[in-house]
Structure 1
Amino acid sequence: MKRVWKKIKVTLFSVVLMVAFTAGCSSTKSTSDDFTQAEQETKEESSQEAVKTENTKDESELLHKIKEKGVLTVASSNDAPFAYIDVETGEFEGIDAVIIKEIAKRLGIPKVVMKEVAFENLLIELNNKTVDMVTDAMYIKDERLQKALFTNAWYQEGEGIIIPNDSSITAKEDLKQATLGGQKGTTFLETAQAWVKEGKVKEVSIFGKQTELMMAVNTGKIDACITDGIVAAYTLAQDSSLNLKILSPYESEASGKIGAAIRFEDQDFLYEVNTVLDEMKEDGTLMDILEDFGLNEDYFVDVEDGITQNKK
């Protein structure tokens, strides 16, 4: 009887050991699985952060900041048809406006807004860092390249001479006895001032805005004005109250290439903008935009000819 009881006790002890061992193994396996899952989640999180960091590295510092804000701010003197605020819709419109909005879209920037600045102060405003870039039909010129970086050329154009419909001026030679108006800060004003020194123009009057310039000719305050040829054609087509016309035939002297200005420290952003701009030239988008504004292939600048040699 004692021997039987002894066997029962041994059997019970063995069962207890097996249960304990099984429970121990089960507990160990569960802890191991939990650790493996946590480790996997940590790896996935690290991988996502690495991708995010890599994407940030692929962007310039300025582009990253602009995308965080969700808006690109550009400076313009509010002159149609380049970059202006439509008085009826309140929207940013014009040739330069459409181009920069397409560039922004391709760079992942959802919105572009315009800050109105007097033309002669555009580069000052840019370097004061109140705007991200300047887009206002600005000629790429050596003296401006001393103050900012410029993108590759967006398009090219030249000046026009605006006269009253009944003017006695029929050719450039007739300007010798004329008072010619020009807008402050523009290439065209510089051309007019050079003509005075050369004896081609009697005198020059300076105006702050395009609208003031055109109105001065219309009211007889000056004999003629020199301005952007595209602006002149657009203004006269839009405003039938102006008793003005463009002098023709006429061969422009101040033709040049148009680009956007960017601060010297934002070279990486310049590269990003130029990359997208050149893509727009190659896929036909830029030419389509020019045609929408009545401009033909004479205004188009291809990728190779449009490369800007910045000074810094």
Structure 2
Amino acid sequence: MKTINGWRRAITTVSFVALCAASSFSATAQAAADLLAQAKANGTLRVANTQSSPPWSMLDENNKPVGYDVAIAKEVGKRIGVPNVVFVADSFKNFVEGLKTGKYDLVMNDLTPTPEREQQVDFGDPYGVEDFRIFVPAGNTDIKGKDTLKGKRVGVVTGSSNETWARAHLRDSDIRSYDNGGLVFNDLGSGRIDAVIISHFGGMKYANVNHLPVKEVGEPLIYQLSAPAMVKGQPALRAAVNKAISDMRADGTIQAIAKKWVGRDYDMPGTIAKAQAQKE
């Protein structure tokens, strides 16, 4: 009986080890797969965005993704040989894990290359930049800048770089996270929170579209670059995306797209260069 039980335990152990080895092999194979070649073979490039982050990504009246990042992603797809770009809706907090599990090939939605993110995924060259500001109700006179946010209820988007910045620099504030910008501005308008930290572009878009009586106060808190994110170990995809972005900056495509979605007078390539110089 002991011998039979011993064999059973041995077989179970071997089976478990084999299963773990198979899972490890599968994960390694997935990481080693050439995603650019796969996208070309499938004829589809899967790009994640929130579809609720104007002017970067949002839904139009026909529920189709539009915006600056959407237009950039479509152009990148054409230039790397995969013109059929399929957009996958997700939230900032899921982007990194979504890439690592193969849910999409790229994330292009105003995503900032932070040191924490760069430990887990790779980033291409920047194609966008923005400044983060404080938004308050139009009638507010107490909040005038960063130093007056002590004890205030401050809304941010979950998983975004503005949440990371707020939690690191506003330790005396009540930071409240929301899954999308629309919800955070709704609560600002209803008085559930006192202020919102978000990009100038995104904040003004929400304010104008929803006719909200809000205003910006203080100086810009930070300037942040946005770049395409991808799973680690994809040199071909990264090189192709970087070349497309470089060519788009050089031939005026990025400025033309920025003029349409961000603002007529906003110098996107020039501001990217300034932000890069400050970072260096």
Instruction: Tell me, yes or no, if the aligned pair for 1:76 and 1:117 is still in contact at 8 Å.
Output: yes
TM-score (norm 2): 0.79
1:121 is displaced (CA, Å) by 0.8
Q: Secondary structure at the match of 1:114?
A: strand
User: Is 1:299 the equivalent of 2:268?
Assistant: yes
2:90 matches 1:117: yes
Cross-structure match for 2:16? none
Partner of 2:39: 66
Q: Deviation of residue 187 (structure 1)?
A: 1.5
Structure 2 match to 1:134: 107
1:224 is matched with which residue? 195
Instruction: Give distance in 2, aligned partners of 1:305 and 1:194.
Output: 24
Query: Aligned to 1:245, which of 196, 215, 219?
Result: 215
Task: Supply the distance in 2 between the matched residues of 1:177 and 1:302 (Cα, whole angstroms).
Answer: 33
Pick closer, same or farther for the CA change 1:188–1:301 going to 2, 3 Å: same
Within 5 A, what are the aligned runs for 1:70-149?
70-78=43-51, 79-86=53-60, 88-149=61-122
Give the number of aligned pairs: 242
Unpaired runs of at least 5, structure 2: 1-32
Q: Distance between the aligned counterparts of 2:270 and 2:163, measured in 1?
A: 24
Residue aligning to 2:155: 181
Aligned residue type for 2:57? A
Question: Which protein shows a greater Rg?
Answer: 1
Partners of 1:126 and 1:262 within 8 A in 2: yes
| Aligned mates of 1:302, 1:275 — CA distance in 2 | 19
Q: CA deviation at 1:110?
A: 2.5
Equivalent of 1:205 in 147, 165, 176: 176
Q: C-alpha offsets along residues 42-72 of structure 1, whole Å, 9 cap, x if unaligned?
A: xxxxxxxxxxxxxxxxxx9322321222221
Structure 1 unpaired stretches of 5+: 1-59, 308-312
**Is 2:264 the counterpart of 1:264?**
no
Post-superposition shift, 1:299? Answer: 3.4
Q: In the aligned structure 2, how far is the partner of 1:301 from the partner of 1:284?
A: 11
Paired residues of 1:140 and 1:258 also in contact (CA < 8 A)? yes
RMSD between aligned residues: 2.3
Aligned pair 1:165/2:138, yes or no? yes
With over 3 angstroms needed to count, the CA separation of the structure-2 counterparts of 1:306 and 1:128, relative to structure 1, is farther
Q: Distance in 2 between matches of 1:112 and 1:306?
A: 29
Mapped to 1, the partners of 2:275 and 2:194 lie a distance apart of 36
**Cα shift at 1:298:** 4.5
Change beyond 3 A, Cα 1:227–1:65: same
